[in-house]
Structure 1
Amino acid sequence: MITNLLSWTQYLPALFSGVGVALALTGIVIVLGFFLGLLLAYGSVSKVRLVKAVALVVVEVGRGAPLLVLLYIVYQGLPQFQLTPTAFASAVIAFTWSAGAYSAEVIRTSIDAVPNGQSEAAIVVGMNRVDSFRFIIAPQAIRVGIPPLMNIAIQFFQFTSLAYAITVPEIMQAAYFQATVTFDYFSVFLAAAFLYASITIPTTMLVSRLERHLAKHL
C-alpha cells in the first residue's frame, strides 16, 4: 500500500531537468520584467501624451490578456512578420511583457504610498528632485514594493508551466512526455505538483516573513 502511495516519486528524476529550465526562465523574466516595469511605471505618468499612451496600452494588454494568448502571439504571430524567435525566447518575451505590466503597477503604487510630505521636505532642505527620489522616496517605496514583487516572481515560476504549450522543455513538458509514455498520468503529474510546491511553498513563507519584517520599519 505504501509503495503504491509513493509510486509517483520514481518520476522525479525524469522531471528534474525541467526544474532548471523553469528556474532559468523565471529568473530572466523577473529581471527583465522589473526593468520593463520601471520604464512603464515612469511612462504611465509621463507628461508626453504619446509616451503615456503607449505605456498604458502595454500595461493594460499585458495585464488583461491571458498569458497563454501572449505566448501564442509571440511564438506563432511574429513569424508572419519574418521574426522567428525560439520557443524559449518567445516565452521570455511573452512572460516579460506580462511581468513588466504587473511590476509597473506595483512600482507605481509603491511610489504613491510614500507621503507627499517626504519629497516636499527633501526639497525644502535643498535636495533636487533626482536626489529626493533617490535618497528619500525610492528607499521607502522599495520597502513597500519588495513583497508584492517577490509574489510576482513566485506566480511566474508557476506560470512557466504554460510554456510547455510552445514546446519549452520545462517541468510540465517533461511530465507530459513521461505521462504519454507510461500512461500513469496521476503519479506523473503528482510528481510535477510536488516539484512546483517544493519551491513555491518555502519561497512564499520567506516572502511572508520578509513582509512582516519590513512592515515593522514602515
Structure 2
Amino acid sequence: MSTLLAFWGTWFPTLLTGFVLSLKVTAVCLALGLPLGLLLALGVRSAGAVVHWISLAVVEIGRGAPALILLQFAYFGLPSAGLTLSSFTAASLALAWTTGAYTSEIIRAGIEAVPHGQREAALAAGLNQADTLWYVILPQGLRVAFPALLGFSILMLQATSLCFTIALPEVVSQAYMVGSNTFHYMPIFLLAALMFAVVCIPATICVSWLERRLGRHAA
C-alpha cells in the first residue's frame, strides 16, 4: 500500500496538470455549446422552414456522429481543407458541437414542458411573442432543464478523456505517458479514475438533489 501511495505521490502533479486541462476543455465546450444548444432549440421550433431544417440538420449530425469522430474530423480532417487547429481548439469546438446538439433537445423538452396556458396568459396580458418567450417561457423551461443540463456537463467532463486521440495532454494522455514510462498502467489509470470520481460523484449527487428539490417545488 505504501508503495502505491508513493507512486501516486510521485506522479500526481503530472496527472493534475492534465486534469486541469480537461476541466478547461470542459469549461470552453460548455461556454460555447450551451448557448448554441439554446439557439438550436429555438431554431428547431421555428416556424421558418429554412431555419428549422438547418437547425435540425446541425442537431442530428451532432447527435448522430460519435464525439470521437467529431474530434478526429476537427483535428485531422480540417487541415486537408486548409484549416489547421490546435488540439485544444479542435477538442473544444468538437465537444461544443456535441454539447450544442444534445443540450438543444434537453432545452427544447424543457420549453415544451411549460404549460401552454402560460403563453396564452402572457399574450393576453399584452406581451408580444418575443417578450413572452424571453420573460415567461424561457425562465420556466430552463429551470426544468437545468438538472439535466448539469448532468450532461458531467458527461462532457468524462468525454474529454477521448481527447488523448488528438494529442491533447489531458489526464488520460498523461496517465498513458506515465504508464508507458513506468509500465505501471493499473495504478496510474486507477489514480486518473479517482480524480474523475472526486469531481463527478459529488456533482452527480448534486444533480439528484436538485431534481428532487425542483420536483417538490413544482408539485
TM-score, shorter chain, exceeding 0.5: yes
Q: Deviations over 1:113-171 (max 9, x none)?
A: 00101110111122222222222212211211100101111000000000011011110
2:38 aligned with 1:57: no
Alignment partners' CA distance in 1, 2:193 and 2:52: 41
Give, as a single letter, the amino acid of the residue that structure 1 aligns with 2:28: I
Q: Report 1:190-209 matches (<5 A).
A: 190-209=190-209
Give, as a single letter, the amino acid of the residue that structure 1 aligns with 2:142: I
2:128 corresponding residue in structure 1: 128
Q: Assess if the C-alpha contact under 8 Å between 1:8 and 1:191 holds in 2.
A: no
Q: Report 1:60-75 matches (<5 A).
A: 60-75=60-75
Secondary structure of 2:217's counterpart equals coil
Q: Assess if the C-alpha contact under 8 Å between 1:38 and 1:107 holds in 2.
A: yes
2:159 corresponding residue in structure 1: 159
2:27 corresponding residue in structure 1: 27
2:210 corresponding residue in structure 1: 210
How many residue pairs end up in the alignment? 217
Call closer, same or farther: CA 1:166–1:35 in 2, change over 3 Å.
same
1:4, CA displacement in angstroms? 4.8
Give, as a single letter, the amino acid of the residue that structure 1 aligns with 2:64: G
Alignment partners' CA distance in 2, 1:142 and 1:81: 38
1:118 corresponding residue in structure 2: 118
- Structure 2's unaligned 5+ residue stretches are none
2:84 corresponding residue in structure 1: 84
Call closer, same or farther: CA 1:64–1:189 in 2, change over 3 Å.
same
State which drifts further: 207-216 or 89-98.
207-216
> Given the two structures, how large is their TM-score scaled by the length of structure 2?
0.94
Secondary structure of 2:75's counterpart equals helix
State which drifts further: 20-29 or 4-13.
4-13
Q: Percent of aligned pairs with the same residue?
A: 43
Give, as a single letter, the amino acid of the residue that structure 2 aligns with 1:3: S
> Given the two structures, how large is their TM-score scaled by the length of structure 1?
0.95
Call closer, same or farther: CA 1:142–1:201 in 2, change over 3 Å.
same
After the TM superposition, which parts of structure 1 deviate over 3 Å for at least 4 consecutive aligned residues?
A: 4-8
2:140 aligned with 1:140: yes
Q: Assess if the C-alpha contact under 8 Å between 1:8 and 1:190 holds in 2.
A: no
Q: Deviations over 1:24-68 (max 9, x none)?
A: 110111111011111111111222222211111111111111110
1:45 corresponding residue in structure 2: 45
Give, as a single letter, the amino acid of the residue that structure 2 aligns with 1:194: L
Alignment partners' CA distance in 2, 1:85 and 1:110: 35
1:212, CA displacement in angstroms? 1.6
Alignment partners' CA distance in 2, 1:31 and 1:210: 21
1:6, CA displacement in angstroms? 4.0
Give, as a single letter, the amino acid of the residue that structure 2 aligns with 1:210: L
Q: Assess if the C-alpha contact under 8 Å between 1:7 and 1:187 holds in 2.
A: no
Q: Assess if the C-alpha contact under 8 Å between 1:41 and 1:108 holds in 2.
A: yes
Cα RMSD for the two superposed structures: 1.3
Secondary structure of 1:85's counterpart equals coil
Secondary structure of 1:216's counterpart equals helix
Secondary structure of 2:84's counterpart equals coil
